[in-house]
Structure 1
Amino acid sequence: MTDPALVLEDARLSLEGNAGKVDILRGISLNVPAGQTLGLVGPSGSGKSSLLMLMGGLERATGGRVQALGHDLGAMDEDALARFRRDRMGVVFQSFHLIPTMTALENVATPLELAGHRDAFARAAAELEAVGLSHRAGHYPAQLSGGEQQRVALARAAAPRPAILLADEPTGNLDEANGAAIMDLLFGLRDQYGATLVLVTHSARLASRCDRVVRLRDGRIEDTESREAAQ
């Protein structure tokens, strides 16, 4: 039996605001097996993106525990977390976060270079080809459409072959055709490399492709449904 990719035990997140403490996540316990695709759904403000940030160590839990691949994220300092994400995780955001002064090829190759891969540019070129953008490798983000920019972001996240791939509304800024293409690419990466895939989405179509769907409301898990149970 393989170890779970992600384990959350009574994970909580509170932030200080002008009006005092705001409870964002109110005791999340969740076990995500390696290789599973998990969809996080719920109304705006339910805590979906915050939960994804906890899983990636981009936010620190203010209570409880978050483990990724057997590592306690709360016990790591910022440098250790950054190295862990670089080597073991891929993160795809709705807003792409590409570096505007770098070409598509450079955007994908830079994290590989930082990780010490000598074949960074060759691997980056292969990843761009895999997402159908080899002909756009020399273009800058401003010269690419939204769908193309998201594919570059996905290639960048996938290039290190992460064990965990986290995606926050990856199709939210795209039209239906481009959104469908990104969905196929995400699940293709899971199938090809066996990565654990966690998606925040408002798309019922995207959620329906996941092995399991967790619905959040007011910072708590409201219900969980497996795809097998839904069929």
Structure 2
Amino acid sequence: MTDPILSITDVNLSLDGNAGQVDILHDIALDVAAGETLGLVGPSGSGKSSLLMLMGGLEQATSGRITALGQDLTAMNEDQLARFRRDNMGVVFQSFHLIPTMTALENVATPLELAGAGDAFDRAAAELSAVGLSDRMDHYPSQMSGGEQQRVALARASAPRPRLLLADEPTGNLDEANGQSIINLLFDLRDKHGATLIMVTHSGELAARCDRVVRLRDGRIDDTLAQAAE
């Protein structure tokens, strides 16, 4: 693989718990190519979401190095990481994380305004229309279904046109019909904007649509999956 958009080298993650230090990830090494769709799979507690959070600079590695778009995330402070995410990444969470006191339009426009876009609300409106919510722009999260809230979250993540789109169990809180709709929207956004898509999922159907699948087990990349494919 040449010129990976994201590269992880010998990364470890340990966190302090009630019973002392807990080792979450061990010796992770992984490269992701620009434009690739990568699925992170594995049993609960295997470290999938933790690895995604490290990729997004939302958690700091205990040791090792993570570079994205040629920049060393592990050398950045919190403010630098926040600016890097604002300019280069979109993140979609399982639990939506919408701002409850803002309408759908305001939720989507917020990251654009923070980035200094003068046409933030026009772009937000276009993005909501693209996910089928042109008639829900003035509604608050509490007035929307789970599927609609996740569509707003997708619109918010994709509106700044990120080079990297990270999704943590994007269908985990949705029923089958809404989950399928969100899956289709994710891949449509990837194709439309040319983003690199990395997602954590328990969905076999979603994983099957990825270009590559990495399985984690006990905080390590499980090489048996790659060996089985050879």
TM-score tier (shorter): over 0.9
The residue aligned with 1:185 is 185
Number of aligned residue pairs:
228
The residue aligned with 1:119 is 119
Distance in 2 separating the partners of 1:199 and 1:18: 29
Q: CA deviation at 1:19?
A: 1.6
Distance in 2 separating the partners of 1:15 and 1:65: 17
Distance in 2 separating the partners of 1:5 and 1:173: 29
The residue aligned with 2:171 is 171
Counterpart amino acid of residue 43 in structure 1:
P
Asked if the contact 1:56–1:166 (Cα under 8 Å) also holds between the matched residues in 2, the reply is yes
Structure-to-structure mapping, 1:37-186, within 5 angstroms: 37-186=37-186
Counterpart amino acid of residue 126 in structure 2:
A
Distance in 2 separating the partners of 1:224 and 1:58: 29
Q: CA deviation at 1:169?
A: 0.2
In angstroms, what is the RMSD of aligned CA positions? 1.4
The residue aligned with 1:220 is 220
Distance in 2 separating the partners of 1:97 and 1:224: 35
Q: Deviations over 1:94-137 (max 9, x none)?
A: 00000000000000001100100000000000000000001000
Counterpart amino acid of residue 176 in structure 2:
E
Q: CA deviation at 1:18?
A: 2.0
Asked if the contact 1:49–1:200 (Cα under 8 Å) also holds between the matched residues in 2, the reply is yes
With normalisation by structure 1, the TM-score equals: 0.96
Asked if the contact 1:212–1:224 (Cα under 8 Å) also holds between the matched residues in 2, the reply is no
Q: Residues 136 and 224 from structure 1, CA distance in 2 versus in 1: closer, same or farther, beyond 3 angstroms?
A: farther
For 2:24, what is the secondary structure of its paired residue? strand
Asked if the contact 1:213–1:224 (Cα under 8 Å) also holds between the matched residues in 2, the reply is no
Distance in 2 separating the partners of 1:52 and 1:190: 18
Q: Does 1:5 align with 2:9?
A: no
Paired-residue identity, %: 78
Distance in 2 separating the partners of 1:224 and 1:144: 42
Q: Residues 61 and 148 from structure 1, CA distance in 2 versus in 1: closer, same or farther, beyond 3 angstroms?
A: same
Distance in 2 separating the partners of 1:187 and 1:17: 37
Asked if the contact 1:5–1:34 (Cα under 8 Å) also holds between the matched residues in 2, the reply is yes
Counterpart amino acid of residue 118 in structure 1:
G
Q: CA deviation at 1:5?
A: 1.3
Distance in 2 separating the partners of 1:145 and 1:202: 22
Residue ranges of structure 2 left out of the alignment (5+ in a row): none
Residue ranges of structure 1 left out of the alignment (5+ in a row): none
The residue aligned with 2:19 is 19
Counterpart amino acid of residue 85 in structure 2:
R
Distance in 2 separating the partners of 1:105 and 1:198: 25
Distance in 1 separating the partners of 2:39 and 2:101: 33
With normalisation by structure 2, the TM-score equals: 0.96
For 2:170, what is the secondary structure of its paired residue? coil
Counterpart amino acid of residue 123 in structure 2:
R
Distance in 2 separating the partners of 1:67 and 1:225: 25
The range that moved more, 108-117 or 216-225, is 216-225
Counterpart amino acid of residue 169 in structure 2:
E
Distance in 2 separating the partners of 1:114 and 1:69: 21
